[in-house]
Structure 1
């Protein structure tokens, strides 16, 4: 029986898991004696499970022709179409919003963007739990898809170190090549999901011990592991765990800087040690350098404060900068409880452009983080460094060998192509949002928030919070398209639609 279930298409499996997951908020609502919300989730689970079962039975004898591109298409369909089903119980339980708002909210959660279309006090605990669960499942989907779908196709950042063209197989991932790609997805899921679940439970317990409510701790734990930035509070800085909880959370955010922090199933470079991983080292440099520059800028402006008060406030401001920088670099988007101190202690406002830049850079390859990815930035840095050396010594020979030479040449070329595609997508979505009535700052923030999958940017980057629910309906759909594009990446979309999949 299990073998027959696992042979079903990836999209059907995702729909079945989504239907089963609705039983959790249904049980939660019934436990809180909220029968209306409980019925909405229970009926949706039964309806969805029945539809999945009927489709599975109807196609039981069909010839299965699945390939790498078929799974990539299923991943794209899951991110774009599956929220239509996920939004059904949310819409029925809330009852005071449009189905479009519910759909875009679920797209935001599933793509781990975490852009909130509703105020926190408008949603019940059950609906907050459902948002957190959808974001957490989206993070798990990306974890598994990175190793099982994107890596064999040299997409999602793997094209930087691969020898084959993006969208084609490479001997580097030959150990993944099997007659049936579906079996590879199941095998990778069995290997990675216990790690994902274990880390989430550990963070949940630690945050609860630190003082957070169990529900808040659970949602924040799921949000950190998925880098979704979803919170049941008005701001993550309102959490009762305070600085202690943030210190614990920061340790788990490091998993978004490099795949090597939790797994070696997809090696992005020839260096297998974490201390030699360029992504992790570059991420730490940014986490230390950006808050230090902000700190020094603020310190110069606050020299007139009393010494003892200045030192204490400075330390709090430094921590606020460190945590918030790491949060936005990992595309989580949590704001530190001391971030207000970091902004106000010197009387100088910190420009939100810094966090827009950090979110654009993003985290590591094959993690739940979005953005351009640190490995691509590292490849462009190596290439730029080599070009500067050639300006000084035109006849010099590069000292790097092996994989470093590959990254510096072909890898940098592919990284530059991706960066240009990202820039063009950013310009396009900015113009579209501006065309629907948003000012330039708001349009740019929306475009970067969607393409980098960092939803909290809409509340912290601009001078005034962007209210997503007030956008025009077409602008909301455009924002949903930007989130799907940012999660799957433009290079994967191009590889998908230029393949022979649709010609058949």
Structure 2
């Protein structure tokens, strides 16, 4: 394990991250809200820390192996999430404890969107902007990680697509093109953000709110500049715009890449995961709209449809925005929307959850086992499109699911042991492990009332959920650290 090279890269990451503090600092100057000092302190502390890590190891440029890759990926979020808590600690408003500051920072960077802050409407603009910026930077990190890095390490869902389309989907051609791929992904990501902000501004948001909410939308983060979230604007048009861009951001960004390169939308319709993703969302919208109409929750059919569309896109993509207290919706709708977050977005998207492709493969594996019960000697293969998948991929999906369930159960028991009621504990674990944000029960509005111990557990869940479980779990095995 080349620790000096890893330390050099970590130092560079921290120094680069310190530069981003200039942007909310400028926002503080524009609005004269008094928060500039917190970002100035963070800039100098982070820059100094990064320099101390980088300078002694600046000549260490050895080629990294897969083990170093796993460690760097984990350090990317853990170190930057820790440094990202500094503005919350240095700021006078809000005044956060260390657990709260870390919770808010990791929630932003992992695009979870769970918050411990109450009174967003009164916060300095610079702090509000910083929260949104954290999610936007985290979202881009997720895309580059999922599309350009994880396939090289042999994990994640993206390797399933390597034989189908050009560019980042072919493992054998990815290594010399990572820089080019990352650049194209940045262009797509920034372009979607600008377009989303423009439409939100046209729909009536202030320029500041439009930029902030476009950051959280494209990153599928869910942070807002108001306690009431998107309900503050009370605009069906804004609901529709955010819902559409959430759906787009929940798609595999490799498909956006391929569609841009091939100048054709046919790549979307050829992709089985996208078709399943679309079908799930249409089904959920129909169910939610029907129940809302049947119970006269909103006065008109159009308003019921608009609310159902927005809330489905928000929950099923794991964004966590809200226009209403969906926990008060009738019948099974609150739990249905919560369960939709377990599926989440597509592989290679900014969405959380287990990912559509894994759920699809688990379903296909279940169908195969049923066939084997009828014909024990028959040989069945699982296919995506016309391509038969190796058994190794199916085994990896089952391994991921087993690890996911284990972490879920252990976290649930730990929260109950700390005094949370069972229902709130279940929804809190689901909200953080799926990078969703809002939960049900005592965490329906925010996470400010839970204990510090519970916050650390849920912070770890965000970490596991964002790093696809195995990426972090492998670091805990003795085999990983042996030479």
- TM-score, with structure 2 as normaliser: 0.87
Aligned to 1:465: 444
Does the alignment pair 1:318 with 2:308? no
Q: Distance in 1 between matches of 2:193 and 2:170?
A: 31
Q: Distance in 2 between matches of 1:502 and 1:215?
A: 47
Does the alignment pair 1:361 with 2:343? yes
Instruction: Name stretches of at least 5 consecutive residues in structure 1 with no aligned partner.
Output: 1-5, 164-170, 179-183
Aligned to 2:89: 91
SS of residue matched to 2:412: helix
Alignment of 1:100-119 (within 5 A): 100-119=99-118
Does the alignment pair 1:333 with 2:323? no
Does the alignment pair 1:483 with 2:483? no
Does the alignment pair 1:224 with 2:255? no
SS of residue matched to 2:441: coil
Alignment of 1:91-490 (within 5 A): 91-94=89-92, 96-119=95-118, 120-158=120-158, 172-177=170-175, 186-240=179-233, 242-253=235-246, 254-264=248-258, 273-301=267-295, 313-336=300-323, 348-391=330-373, 398=380, 406-407=388-389, 409-456=391-438, 458=439, 461-462=440-441, 465=444, 467-490=446-469
Instruction: Name stretches of at least 5 consecutive residues in structure 2 with no aligned partner.
Output: 164-168
Aligned to 1:168: none
Deviations 1:165-196 (A, max 9, x none): xxxxxx95011235xxxxx6544332211221
Answer whether contact 2:82 2:102 (CA < 8 A) is retained. Answer: yes
Question: In terms of mean alpha carbon deviation, does 320-329 or 45-54 score higher?
Answer: 45-54
Answer whether contact 1:211 1:241 (CA < 8 A) is retained. Answer: no
Answer whether contact 1:152 1:173 (CA < 8 A) is retained. Answer: yes
C-alpha change, 1:214 and 1:401, in structure 2 (3 Å) is closer
Deviations 1:40-70 (A, max 9, x none): 2123213322332343332123353423332
Q: Distance in 1 between matches of 2:68 and 2:344?
A: 27
SS of residue matched to 2:351: coil
How far has the Cα of 1:361 moved from its partner? 0.7
Q: Distance in 1 between matches of 2:428 and 2:382?
A: 40
Q: Distance in 2 between matches of 1:359 and 1:38?
A: 37
How far has the Cα of 1:125 moved from its partner? 1.6
Count of residue pairs brought into register by the alignment: 469
Answer whether contact 2:231 2:322 (CA < 8 A) is retained. Answer: no
SS of residue matched to 1:229: coil
Does the alignment pair 1:70 with 2:42? no
Aligned to 2:166: none
C-alpha change, 1:318 and 1:65, in structure 2 (3 Å) is same
- TM-score, with structure 1 as normaliser: 0.84
Deviations 1:273-322 (A, max 9, x none): 211212211111111112322333444455xx9xxxx9x62231122112
How far has the Cα of 1:398 moved from its partner? 5.0
C-alpha change, 1:209 and 1:489, in structure 2 (3 Å) is same
SS of residue matched to 2:337: helix
Deviations 1:244-299 (A, max 9, x none): 1222222222231323442239x9xxx97211212211111111112322333444
Q: Distance in 2 between matches of 1:162 and 1:204?
A: 33
How far has the Cα of 1:26 moved from its partner? 0.9
Answer whether contact 1:138 1:226 (CA < 8 A) is retained. Answer: yes
How far has the Cα of 1:159 moved from its partner? 5.6
Deviations 1:335-370 (A, max 9, x none): 246x76x966xxx35542112211111111111111
Q: Distance in 2 between matches of 1:383 and 1:501?
A: 30
How far has the Cα of 1:105 moved from its partner? 0.6
SS of residue matched to 1:469: coil
